[in-house]
Amino acid sequence: MKIGIIGLGYVGLPLALHFAEAGTEVYGFDIDSTKVDMINGGRSPIRYIPNERIAAANAKLTASNDPAGLSAVDGIIICVPTPLTHQREPDMTFILSTLDLIGPHLRKGQMMSLESTTYPGTTDEIICGFVKKLGFTIGEDFYVVYSPEREDPGNAKFNAATIPKVIGGTTPACLAKGKEVYSIIVQRLVEVSSTRAAEMTKLLENIHRSVNISLVNEMKIVANKMGVDIFEVIDAAATKPFGFTPYFPGPGLGGHCIPIDPFYLAWKAREYGLNTRFIELSGEIDNDIRNWVLGRIMDGLNGQKKALNGSRVHFLGIAYKKNIDDARESPSIWLMEAVKAKGGVISYSDPYLPTFPKMREHHLDLQSVALTPEYLSSVDCVVIATDHDDFDYEMVLRHAKLIVDTRGRYRGQAENVISA
């Protein structure tokens, strides 16, 4: 069996590597020619994936920006972005353009799996609709499944092979074919009755996180006003052996999943005349916490008799979580742009992102600054936005005039630290 992976990013590339390491031939397709050249040259485009792993897999893994090669594969797995529009509606552009691109190269007998997070009904309405227009009979000469990604970038404990994988088929024959493909690498497959059930499973997982992170962020504001350390409270509550799962506050929701995916369900629910109040509320709280952090930066500067306008504000970390190089939907970037809009002079340090990444909606001409005592002393405020383990927090504490800590690194125990 030969597998085709479409999209060699944070989801597709690890998946391709697992198949290749299992001895399966993999044809990886991506429109980014730079990424394709890096992979074929044995270099990793993702920092937490070592070059050695790419090079070792190259005996079985071929990357290309030519979709014609997909005609030779038996299973096609689509791992492309599913962002939101400015109106918080699903943007299917990447899925639709992918189908148009690969359509001429599909053949009878292939299995197609969508892994991108999306609203219930996407596989039936878009993927199956497209396949039928090509003249295939689903479940007889072409097979369609939905199996949501559960990748956690930078997590050394779990990976695509060890995380149980949910899968739903359009027909029983589709499900059987999908299981045949994924069982090559996945230790445990979790079958559900339909692609819609699989699509909603992924949304429930992310909505659960979104609501609980928003809850603990709201609790952080309340605790701060009452002079209570929210991290101490979370640690104490987590000693309860049942009925409580610890979530930790920060500067807001981040990453490609948690701030986006819940609104896919909210949008689809409106088609059925339903309002998803928890989802909408978590989005509102996320906006509130970002603005609250911005206010804490201004409060800290005011305490030094300085205005935000003209002050130098340095951000530690622009990735959406620590120890990875993924800045998609990062609250750090929202805060940087908000500070800049109010006249602040912004800079950042992030060992995982030496140059501000190319993004669809954010454009800052910045380079990561090396942290030195001299540089820390020269800025008016340091914001701990992403708490990478690589940072020397003791040096930051000694030399920064003001630290706004959104991640609880210092617990507000020093005079130059305020919690946010």
Reduced to 3 states (helix: H, G, I; strand: E, B; else coil), residue 404 is: strand
Question: Cα-flanking dihedrals φ and ψ of residue 30, to 5°?
Answer: -155, 140
- Do 151 and 120 touch, CB atoms closer than 8 A? no
Burial class (CB in 10 A: 0-12, 13-18, 19+), 137: exposed
CA angle 381, 358, 62 (to 5 degrees): 135
Spatial CB neighbours of 324, under 8 Å, sequence gap ≥ 6: 47, 48, 153, 154, 352
Structure tokens at 176: 């059987």
Contact between 253 and 329 (Cβ < 8 Å):
yes
Largest CA distance in the chain: 73
Catalytic residue among 79, 128, 257, 381: 257
257 annotated active-site: yes
Exposed/middle/buried for 271, CB within 10 Å: 0-12, 13-18, 19+? Answer: exposed
C-alpha span between 54 and 390 (Å, rounded): 24
Q: Kindly give, in sequence order, each residue whose CB lies less than 8 Å from that of residue 363, ignoring residues fewer than 6 positions away.
A: none
Q: Is 296 within 8 Å of 420 (Cβ atoms)?
A: yes
Contact 416, 397 (CB under 8 A): yes
Query: What's the CA gap between 204 and 246, in Å, rounded?
Result: 18
**Helical (H) or strand (E) element with 146:** strand 143-146
- DSSP class per residue in 170-197: SSHHHHHHHHHHHTTT-S-EEE-SSHHH
Judged on CB neighbours under 10 Å (0-12, 13-18, 19+), 152 is: middle
Dihedral over Cα of 121, 122, 125, 131: its sign: negative
Q: Which helix (H) or strand (E) holds 20?
A: helix 12-21
Residues marked as catalytic: 257
